Amino acid sequence: MRPLFIALLLALLTACSKTDPTPPASASPAATASAPATSGPAIRHLKQTELPAGVELRGKLVDALRWQDADGDNLLLLSEWNEEGKVTEEAPDGSRSAYLAAAHYQLGGAKPRRLWLLNDSVQDCGFDVAAAFDLSATRVVDADGDGRAETLLGYSMTCTSDVSPYTYKLITHAGAQKYALRGLDRYGVLYRDEETGEFVGPPLLKDCSTAAQKSTRERMKDSSWSEADWALPGCYESDADFAQAPAALKQVALQHWHALMQHSDARWRASFSHLGK
């Protein structure tokens, strides 16, 4: 269970309302969260009317990326949709569900061939709900220089009634093989001390290893995050998925995660700008 935040942070609800629960990290494809330092193929973004016949699209198209590599003609689709649920005793205002999907198609044959499909969701939530892609995270790279592109995509998810971090996932594919980093972003983790004007809260770590997170928790004895049993905000729980991944691809993914979390942290700090110092 996520820790509750102190009253001062909750007082910021008017400035940082989540009545529109679109994850704060979401941005346009041109948004910058430091691209991985590696080359990749030229990308063309398609409109829905430009999608090839034979590809399946559920929900609203968020982005469509097309590129050429050693495997031929490729298409990555990202889509999202929401559903309203029934009114229940647990959800007197009605529950809500948020869904997202991603699919990689290889084109050029008699019909598109789907290489992989990703579905994720937050279902039957009685509070603020969201599942949305962070378009600043989407990358098509060639980490190992073999002419075959790898894809990275990120998204945020939440079901909450307070100001607290979103679950964040960075999903990497090399062909059909998936590697994932799963953790928390930096939304809602800091508050500004009224006397000093300094930000207070769990630090943004550059090292998300188990040892580094454990050491940080031990130094945060008076914080609710010291007893958390999952990732610290801005960190992933584990990089075990990358144990068998190419070293170059793992490096790209970890660097990209940290760049995205720096961006998330900066956005949250910037939300206090109207309050002055």
User: What CA–CA distances, in Å, run from 89 to 94, 95, 247?
Assistant: 9, 10, 50
d(CA 277, CA 274): 9
- List the chain domain ranges: 7-275
Structure tokens at 52: 């090839």
Task: Give residue 167's pLDDT.
Answer: 98
Q: Is 48 helix (H, G, I), strand (E, B) or coil?
A: helix
Task: Give residue 275's pLDDT.
Answer: 62
- Reading the chain (277 residues) residue by residue, the pLDDT tens digits are 444 333 333 333 333 334 445 555 444 444 455 555 578 999 999 999 999 999 999 999 999 999 999 999 999 999 999 999 766 666 667 899 999 999 999 999 899 999 999 999 999 999 999 999 999 999 999 999 999 999 999 999 999 999 999 999 999 999 999 999 999 999 999 999 888 989 999 999 999 999 999 999 988 877 778 777 789 999 999 999 999 999 999 999 999 999 999 999 999 999 988 665 5
> What is the pTM assigned to this prediction?
0.86
Residues 6 or more apart from 69 whose CB is under 8 A from it? 41, 142, 147, 148, 149
Closest C-alpha to 181, from 265, 102, 107, 260: 260
